[in-house]
Amino acid sequence: MKLTSKFPALMLTSESVEKARPTDEQNRCLLESVELEREVLGTDGVLVRVVYSALNYKDALAASGNTGVVRKYPLIPGIDAVGKVVEPGSSAFEFGEIVLIANAKFGTSHHGGFASFARVPEDWLIRLPAGLSLEQAAAWGTAGFTAAQSVQQLLNHGVTPELGEILVTGATGGVGVFAVQLLAKLGFSVTASTGKLDRYEQLLSLGAAKVVPREQVVDLSDAPLLKSRWAGVVDCVGGLTLNSAIRATHVGGCVTACGLVAGHELGLTVYPFILRGITLCGIDSANVSREYRQQLWDKIASDWSLDVRNVSTEIELHQLPQQIEQILNGSVFGRIIVRMPE
């Protein structure tokens, strides 16, 4: 492989953010298309030729200049990357090995995956398990990995198909579509909740036993407990949806939380926890150990393998800004994977 001195990327700069702030447009992509010298990435660590990245809600927030996500400027966002090692340095990796990049700093305070190259510390890399193609790994990405973590937590807390329905909120998003499929594969009866009425048939085709509008899940009353409905919950949106789901979970049930698109506040009493023994599990996909990450990816590639073709759309890098604005406006279904230019 001949490495060119320059490579394409999408970059966020302090100038673009400052220029946009007076307009107060929260759902606008501020990324600039640039050609960069590879020296911009530094010289320490492993150089990876990125073949695929993927679009996550966190990436869209970064691309709009959200100060809660972006830790430095200039920045190449993109928290997902799958590619080939082209400069292993002194690492244990070999030239041409296929790797996944994952770390809390990648795409937030360290240049991320929306570029043809990335240079990262060795311990940010894991080997792509046998049984997964680069495209499949990109489709799973952080969203699918988060869904797998959520399902694993339900299993760890004794939630089984015999105990009743599992609720998946925000079911048309990246985490949601993988959670629905994976839970259905494991024999659970899944109720998928969404605000997108035109996506019901797709969710049913992914394995949901039932699809309900989000209004049927959210309870605006101040009742400390609601009628028991769920043996477990994979919540992807937060806010009142998570609040209501916790209050409606069976005795001994488990609720996982990984999103905040519906709000970051959680105003409720302790009654679900002390009267029903509910477990609330936060899902943090950025800071898990390398060993655990590799174990779960190995499981994704084998026992938990899924057909990802119906939940992923492949685009080119230049098409990404439009998709970012769509995900910020809530109009994206499933996963957007981004193929990098050669």
Enter the DSSP assignment of 106: B
Angle between helices 134-156 and 290-301 (to 10 degrees): 110
> What is the per-residue pLDDT across 224-249, written as a single tens digit (0 to 9) for each?
999 999 999 999 999 999 999 999 99
What are the structural domains of the chain? 6-131+308-339 (3.90.180.10), 143-282 (3.40.50.720)
The pLDDT value recorded for residue 101 is 97
Burial class (CB in 10 A: 0-12, 13-18, 19+), 162: exposed
The pLDDT value recorded for residue 2 is 56
CA dihedral sign, ordered 223, 227, 232, 233: negative
> What is the per-residue pLDDT across 22-70, written as a single tens digit (0 to 9) for each?
555 567 899 999 999 999 999 999 999 999 999 999 999 999 999 889 9
Q: What is the C-alpha to C-alpha distance for residues 325 and 333, in angstroms, rounded to an integer?
A: 13
The pLDDT value recorded for residue 71 is 87
Residue spans of the chain under pLDDT 50: none
Q: What is the C-alpha to C-alpha distance for residues 226 and 218, in angstroms, rounded to an integer?
A: 11
The pLDDT value recorded for residue 4 is 62
Q: Are the beta carbons of 340 and 52 closer than 8 angstroms?
A: yes
Residue 99, helix vs strand vs coil: strand
The pLDDT value recorded for residue 259 is 93
